[in-house]
């Protein structure tokens, strides 16, 4: 079990963006990001693609930690609520619907001052060998 969860932290895309795993337990995962100028859009705030990547990644991790198999995102909804340009942000997620073939999760990104930066929901196909 610990080996499966540890494999989730070794993704080159997540490392490239600078995401850091700060909590990794069954049913409880958290990602942290120190916002850098490389993460900015043309307005000099966090690019929406970084929000989406963080929300999708944390949802995938929490679902895979429960199902212990690969998943594929079928739908992702993102709500951008507040801009952020600097500091640390934290993402957490929870499963809100578990099925045999499909699961749904929701996630949120919180800023250093506990402000809600973004939220999202995702629907994931459970990829089973059989």
Place of tokens 């507040």: 82
Domain ranges (residues) in the chain = 2-126
Share of the chain above pLDDT 70, in %: 89
pLDDT for position 56: 96
DSSP class of residue 103? E
- Give whole-number Cα distances, 123 to 40, 72, 79, in Å: 27, 9, 15
Residues 70-107: tens digit of each pLDDT:
999 999 999 999 999 999 999 999 999 999 999 999 99
Whether domain 2-126 has CATH 3.10.129.10: the reply is yes
pTM metric for this prediction: 0.91
The Cα 101–Cα 80 span in angstroms is 29
């Amino acid at each position: 079990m610990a080996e499966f969860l540890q494999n989730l932290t070794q993704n080159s895309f997540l490392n490239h963006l600078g995401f850091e795993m700060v909590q990794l337990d069954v049913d409880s995962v958290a990602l942290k990001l120190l916002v850098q100028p490389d993460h900015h859009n043309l307005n000099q705030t966090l690019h929406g693609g970084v929000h989406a990547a963080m929300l999708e990644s944390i949802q995938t991790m929490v679902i895979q930690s429960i199902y212990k198999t690969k998943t594929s995102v079928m739908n992702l909804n993102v709500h951008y609520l507040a801009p952020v340009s600097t500091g640390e942000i934290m993402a957490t997620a929870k499963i809100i619907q578990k099925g045999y073939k499909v699961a749904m999760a929701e996630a949120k990104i919180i800023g250093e001052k506990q402000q809600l930066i973004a939220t999202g929901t995702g629907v994931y196909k459970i990829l089973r060998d059989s």
